[in-house]
């Protein structure tokens, strides 16, 4: 990857929907992200035929807490996710898009990393980014995963891991309700 594009300001797509500003604290430990490596994850619902989206949930999690969440997953679930991603993710296409369009971060998350489907062709998707302080670190991230892929991934998870994911979501976003309509068992892929 061209070094001049190695880091850049975090695109507004990865700013907090709630505040309009970059994320400032880890959702899990509440530490400042100012000089820290972290990940951003946002779940978004679209309405085909309309130019409207809703943010279902969003979070920033420091690298230490992300690792702790990953370790709370069963070894079997971790292995199945890794195998699925290795077999299905088009990392070379993603890296090509990031390199070819270094000043167009909207193109980086325009299509699903697994299926290649456009954001406009899916009813739900999640986007992921790797950051340090106020800078985006483009590598294979940022990327987008469609809701149908997330459904496939959740089918690979053990009951222990599903419980851990539900506990994480409940701890930070409350229990699912009709108003929130949080997706159950959404895999945190960071």
Give this prediction's pTM: 0.88
Q: Is the CB of residue 133 less than 8 Å from the CB of residue 35? A: yes
The CB-based long-range contact list for 87-90 (8 Å cut-off, 24+ gap) reads 88/114, 88/149, 89/113, 89/114, 89/140, 90/114, 90/116
Tens of pLDDT, residue by residue, the chain (190 residues): 334 446 789 999 999 999 999 999 999 999 999 999 999 999 999 887 788 889 999 999 999 999 999 999 999 999 999 999 999 998 899 999 988 998 888 899 999 999 999 998 999 999 999 999 999 998 889 999 999 999 999 899 998 888 888 888 888 887 765 444 555 545 566 5
What DSSP state is assigned to residue 11? P
- Dihedral sign for Cα 47, 48, 51, 57, please: positive
| Location of structure tokens 């009951």 | 159
Cα-based distances in Å from 167 to 93, 114, 173: 34, 27, 10
Nearest to 74 by CA among 149, 147, 152, 156: 156
Q: Are strands 53-62 and 124-132 parallel, antiparallel or unpaired?
A: unpaired
Determine which helix (DSSP H) or strand (DSSP E) holds 141, and give its type and residue range. none
């Amino acid at each position: 990857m061209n070094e001049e594009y190695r880091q850049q300001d975090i695109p507004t797509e990865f700013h907090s929907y709630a505040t309009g500003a970059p994320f400032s604290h880890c959702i899990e430990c509440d530490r400042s992200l100012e000089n820290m490596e972290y990940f951003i994850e946002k779940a978004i619902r679209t309405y085909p035929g309309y130019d409207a989206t809703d943010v279902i949930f969003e979070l920033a999690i420091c690298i230490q807490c992300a690792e702790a969440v990953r370790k709370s997953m069963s070894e079997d679930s971790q292995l199945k996710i890794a195998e699925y991603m290795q077999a299905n993710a088009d990392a070379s296409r993603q890296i090509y898009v990031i390199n070819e369009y270094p000043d167009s971060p909207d193109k980086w998350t325009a299509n699903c990393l697994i299926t290649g489907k456009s954001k406009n062709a899916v009813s739900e998707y999640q986007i992921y980014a790797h950051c340090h302080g106020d800078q985006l670190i483009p590598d294979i991230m940022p990327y987008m995963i469609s809701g149908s892929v997330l459904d496939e991934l959740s089918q690979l998870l053990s009951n222990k891991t599903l419980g851990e994911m539900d506990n994480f979501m409940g701890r930070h976003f409350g229990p699912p309700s009709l108003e929130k309509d949080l997706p159950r068992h959404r895999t945190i892929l960071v």
